[in-house]
Structure 1
Amino acid sequence: MIEITKELSSFILVGIFLVSMVGLVKGSDFLLEGAERIGRYFKLPAFVIGALIVGVGTSLPELASSFVAAMDGKTGIVAANVVGSNVANILLVAGFAAILGGVIQTTKNLTNIEIPLLVISTSLFLFVAYDGTVSFAEAFIIFITFIVYIAYLLNNKKFLTEDDKIREAADEKKQAKENKEEVVTKLEVRDFALLLGGGVLLALGANYLIDSVVAMSEKFDVAEDVISMSAVAIGTSLPEILVSTKAVFRGKTDLAFGNVFGSNVFNILMITGIVGLYKNIKLDEITLQIGLPFLAITTLIFYISAQTKKIYIWEGLMFLIFYTFFALKMFKLI
């Protein structure tokens, strides 16, 4: 493997960072595609495939990069990645969705169930991380909460309102018609190649990503957690941003937001829980002083906005402006 150090030129370092980011995201996509086909072959319910495979799959870039960082002893990157990704998911995805989709009508399921779940998981993370460390015991509690959340996902349809059930059934029927998805009756070599190739690409991308972050931090004299909360967070959030943007253009704004909230909950509970069980997570100074407060404020602002049952264009603009302020604050430009 290529040794990545600050001695490399800036151009090469940035190039390695970008290529590893693409590898990380594409590896996740390949792994997800293979897992979905295998899931359909074993006749797993569509909802289980969506809730578990897709839910975990969209958080794989963050999980892989975070675990590699923990193995290298850079646990500050883990917390920065989770915080940065969640702030980006809410402010950027919700911001662009509101601007592109116009006035967005939120569903009862979104307002009464998904947003409260996001608030609860975020509050739990803020509570255990405020002292600067997520210990093994705290990670264990978070992981147990993750298991409970998975159990909830598998029984989610019991909690939907009648309107949401009708809407979901119609969406599933329309989606099946659009994609013309057929039952997978035979597994092909390609399916396992996607799993294996995706896993290898994911691992390589995560390794080179973390190495390039550390090298760029030393070369450009920028804190590792700043790079993780900004460039890495946006890069690993690209799957959610792209999926949600497509959903908005298709008129499925509730799907766009549901994707964001699901990803954020997975980021906090799965990544913090799993990585924290492996090694205590230490938060760096900037994550503590800037990241956590912004995460709390961002979640609170969106919760308040959603209570009106509608999200307007001006609110989307406000989200984007707030993210710009967050970025400027991280890089100490204001």
Structure 2
Amino acid sequence: MASKISFKVTFKSKTIAFEQWDLASTIGQVKKHLHDMTSLPPEAQKLLWKGHILKEDDISLSELKIQDNSKLMLMGSLPNQVEQVNQLDQKIQEQRRITPLIRQQKNKQRKRQPDPNAKYTFHKISVIPEFPNPDKARQLLERLRDDRGIRAIMADRKWSVGELIELTPFEATILGYNRNAGQLIALRLRTDDLSGFRHYDAVRKVLLHELTHNVWSDHDDNFHALNRQLNKDVVNLDWTAHGAHSLGGGDYYNPEDDEDRIRSDVLYESGIYRLGAGSKSDSSQAMTPEQQRQRLAAAALSRLTKKEEQEMDEGCGSSHPVK
């Protein structure tokens, strides 16, 4: 029986040849030679033979029955690689530790720095508690107050309104009014039979009409020019301020929302209604098809027609504000 054998050890893409090694050689001696060839310390070496890790350094090649032309595999990481991993792990742990502290500091700074546009809003909201579903009426007024397009318009023009209130539906000839150029704005929210609420887009158009009275008293060319501009701005200011994101978050009237509203316990007036329902638009140009469709739908709904202008002029109780 031969007392010497030749075998190979593969390490990554490298093959290390062991020529004419005595069968009495131990795994410890093999690892020492591998250290000289790869710089991988013996304690970091994992030497595999037939799928098993050779853990006993004092066992011989003969005892393991390693034969001529056998192939072993070496696994392990160099010290500098281990150090790099440890340093990266330390950085990750440190980042995890300080991230909450940074977030807390930013939150404190936000609290210390009040929103400079916070005063350009409706400072009080009131509904008529005697009518059905006053909570729904309040939600509608709050939605108008928090509408991103409305907020952007008021901040851009530095408008501050003292109170936004529900107008009694018994005043059937009035859709809304603006008292003293922004002291108070009243809007008719309910349908004539009190069974539900008017479309959000219709009520918002009346709100934009009444906000126009902050600047112009009479329904003249100046008034209508500004009112038309506000109906464009309510879409454009919101859209550009939010990176052309989808408008499906509830800040704009979406025609598809009516299906959900009709299923709720309070009905919203649908179809052709006093201020016009507007129309939807579809487009495959620019952005994603869904984003484009929603933006065009919002723009179409906000676009004023001559008929709508006339109806709102006739239904406005603030062409001559009370002084």
TM-score normalised to structure 2 length: 0.24
Greater RCO (Cα-Cα under 8 Å, separation 6 or more): 1
Is the radius of gyration larger for structure 1 or structure 2?
2
Bigger fraction of residues in helix: 1
- TM, length-normalised to structure 1: 0.24
Write 1 or 2 for the structure with the bigger share of strand. Answer: 2
